[in-house]
Structure 1
Amino acid sequence: MLKRSTLLLLLAMFTHLLSYSQDTYLFVGSYNGAKDKDGIYIYRMNMQTGQLTKVCTYSAILNPSYLILSRDGQYIYACSETRTPGMGSVSSYTFDRQQQKITLLSKQDSGGENPVYLTTDKSGAWLVNGNYTGGSIAVFPLKADGTIAPAVKVIPFTDHSIDTGRQKTAHIHSTVFSPDDRYVFSPDLGADKIRRYRFEAAQSQPLQPDSSVRAVPGSGPRHFTFHPNGKYAYCIEEMAGAVSAYRYADGQLDSIQRLMTHGKEPYGFYNSADIHIAPDGRFLYASNRGDENNIAIYRIGDDGRLTFVAYQSTLGEHPRNFLIDPSGKFLLVANQISGDVVVFRRNIQTGRLTYTGVKVKMTGPSSLQIKTYHN
């Protein structure tokens, strides 16, 4: 029988070998402003220190401002030609880890101006896109080689709400699948609604409008996320600077709480942006742009209700997007206007964030995705 010391040594050796059998990469989309500038960035991330090392970049595409990855990490899908009057596209790329190279595979019209959000179903057969300025949702088939086929359905909206400056028409800001893939929920900043659609992957027209939940007038619902247990959902409201919490079951959202994400009144207007929950489901994080430029941290109770914990400066300007890595160890922020990605370490017990000293500069970072590959 092996001695305890020998077992510990073998365990340490196994852990050491395991660390060399996988690589974690950070993918960054941006508002590059011109096709001759880098738009997509890929960094290798050290999961012990948070250090980021640039691997490769891709230009020749305008404003690839929001990215997602295929489930195997082989393909990158992007909202592109955003904030470009009369334009808008969705595009796909392959990432070759051996050659450390990004290659464009396909591009399709987004079905509306200014696409801002993408998501795929669990089967990887469908891509759903939200167009902000165009006020529409588009559905695209995905081919096995990573290319995007033309849209099979575009659903336009003309609704409006009470703010005559920002809510003259619909502004779709995100498209999020329910945990069971039976529904897609889509916050509409312009109409103050969270729209719901039925989804059936086996159908040629998989997405069908169903119903909607009314948000507070003038609140501007933006991004939406489900709790890991599938029982609760949360929506960040850009214009009101608030988070609304819902109890969720079988496609139904029932309001249970609404609270401010800002610690003070803004000089201009509220500008809340992104929202995510830690992998263990214990803490929720929300980003605030504008005057504060911070992450609001909340503890999530067993009943789904939120309790404020702290604010953390993002050490930059305009935190449009952020992510929590799947291990829950790190939170990374994309500060769009100051042009940097900042890495924080998470305290898993308290939810609080500590700056790691890692900050990388680039033009207009606006979207982050992370993937660990096993070699």
Structure 2
Amino acid sequence: MLLLLALFCFTMDAWRWPWSSKASPTLVYVGTYTGEGATDSKGIYAFSFDDAKSVITPLGLAVATTNASYVLIHPSQKYVFAVNEQDDGKVVAFKVASTQTGQLTLINDQSSRGSGPCYLSTNKAGNYIFVANYNSGTVAALPVDTTDGSVKESTGFDQQTGSSVNPDRQTSPHAHCILLDKREEYAVSADLGSDQIYSYRFTPADGTLERAGITKVPEPGNGPRHLVFSDDQEFVYVMNELMSSITVFKYSPIMQPVQTISTLPSNFTAFNTGAEVLVHPTSGKFLYATNRGHDSIAVFSVDRGTGLLSLIQHMSVQGRTPRNFNILPDGNHLIVANQDSNNLVVFSIDTTTGRLTATGATAEVKTPTCIKFLNT
């Protein structure tokens, strides 16, 4: 009887039945700068992350490409897109050739309709990509052929305008992000150069973007960089790069500011710029933001009724210039990309309190600027 039971257990484990299978590792893609000062970096790099063991393992160069400073995973998980952040900006499409090694193969590239593309997003169907061009202050919508992953010429376009008070960073428009709201009715874009948030009506039938409104951030010189919606789309959280703060807006889609809160400790007076901002993906109860200079992640609790933020923690990123980070889909881990210290650092997330704890897991990669996950 014992022999039969042991044989049954071995058979179940060998076949890896659904109720006894182990979770597969997550494939991590890291975009990098490849230009001056980053000559050792060649493009997009792949890593494997074991959530159960909190171990990140380098898989090598996924594909060579120029200044892939922002990366996007297609909703189908079959394609990866990246910007080529250069004067003649491009959006480049790749096919996931192997989920074991992370290798990517080129499909095609398309003009980003501007200079210095720095941000990509997509709609849920994955048949449009939205791109923000920092240098030229332009945004565009580009169709995607979902049968082969190829990206087509833009169908929507806008030239943002204006300036603001910072003489070094705000003499012209600098579009720094664009993404659809959760109902996919409007695309919202932060313009660092003019201290404005643009709203565009998006028409999926023809891929056009039509200006619907412009919202000024509360204080001149804030420099809005990235933004993210609450999971119920009641609020928008905007990272102000130049003033190192988060502005909370009520969204309807008219945007009304309700709070601006610093991402820095009150006693920190050295130079700092804000970078990435994300809401916890499973609970929506916490918000995370990176500081470049203080070199930390600021952790906030989110009042789900009012949208207001309260500081919980500042966590050292164990590196320099945390340009980007991402949170694993299950909400248990956060990986940060430290651009100037050339390393990735893994933190665990207490899903009850939101607090971060360093796991000790790190990996080296030259000038990392963007982290995205693909489930294998």
Task: Indicate whether the TM-score tops 0.5.
Answer: yes
Question: How much has 1:97 moved relative to structure 2?
Answer: 2.3
Counterpart of 1:230 (choices 226, 230, 233) is 233
Alignment-mate amino acid for residue 89 of structure 1: K
Question: How much has 1:157 moved relative to structure 2?
Answer: 2.3
Tell me what 2:92 maps to: 91
Question: Secondary structure at the residue paired with 2:176?
Answer: coil
Tell me what 2:349 maps to: 346
Note if 1:46 corresponds to 2:50: yes
Note if 1:75 corresponds to 2:76: no
Question: Secondary structure at the residue paired with 1:229?
Answer: coil
For 1:155 and 1:330, locate their aligned partners in 2 and report how far apart those are by CA, in whole Å.
37
Counterpart of 2:211 (choices 209, 212, 237) is 209
Tell me what 1:25 maps to: 27
Pick closer, same or farther for the CA change 1:47–1:99 going to 2, 3 Å. Answer: closer
Question: How much has 1:58 moved relative to structure 2?
Answer: 3.4
Per-residue CA deviations over 1:329-360 (Å, capped at 9, x if unaligned) read: 00110001101111000011111111111110
Question: Secondary structure at the residue paired with 2:21?
Answer: helix
For 2:54 and 2:115, locate their aligned partners in 1 and report how far apart those are by CA, in whole Å.
36
**Structure 1, unaligned runs of 5 or more:** 1-8
Preserved contact between residue 191 and residue 198 of structure 2 (Cα < 8 Å): yes
Note if 1:218 corresponds to 2:195: no
CA RMSD of aligned residues (A): 2.1
Pick closer, same or farther for the CA change 1:125–1:98 going to 2, 3 Å. Answer: closer
Pick closer, same or farther for the CA change 1:199–1:352 going to 2, 3 Å. Answer: same
Preserved contact between residue 197 and residue 216 of structure 2 (Cα < 8 Å): yes
Question: How much has 1:15 moved relative to structure 2?
Answer: 7.2
TM-score w.r.t. the length of structure 2 is 0.90
For 2:354 and 2:233, locate their aligned partners in 1 and report how far apart those are by CA, in whole Å.
21
TM-score w.r.t. the length of structure 1 is 0.90
Alignment-mate amino acid for residue 229 of structure 1: D
Question: How much has 1:297 moved relative to structure 2?
Answer: 0.6
Preserved contact between residue 40 and residue 366 of structure 2 (Cα < 8 Å): no
Tell me what 1:143 maps to: 145
Preserved contact between residue 76 and residue 126 of structure 2 (Cα < 8 Å): no
Counterpart of 1:300 (choices 296, 299, 302) is 302
Counterpart of 2:277 (choices 272, 275, 280) is 275
Instruction: Identify the range of structure 1 (98-107 vs 348-357) with the bigger mean alpha-carbon deviation.
Output: 98-107
For 1:131 and 1:230, locate their aligned partners in 2 and report how far apart those are by CA, in whole Å.
25
Counterpart of 1:255 (choices 243, 254, 257) is 257
Per-residue CA deviations over 1:260-313 (Å, capped at 9, x if unaligned) read: 1111466554300010011211111110002x1000011111321111111000
Counterpart of 1:167 (choices 167, 170, 178) is 170
Question: Secondary structure at the residue paired with 1:198?
Answer: strand
**Structure 2, unaligned runs of 5 or more:** 1-8
For 1:225 and 1:129, locate their aligned partners in 2 and report how far apart those are by CA, in whole Å.
16
Question: How much has 1:32 moved relative to structure 2?
Answer: 2.2
The alignment covers a number of residue pairs equal to: 358
Tell me what 2:113 maps to: 111
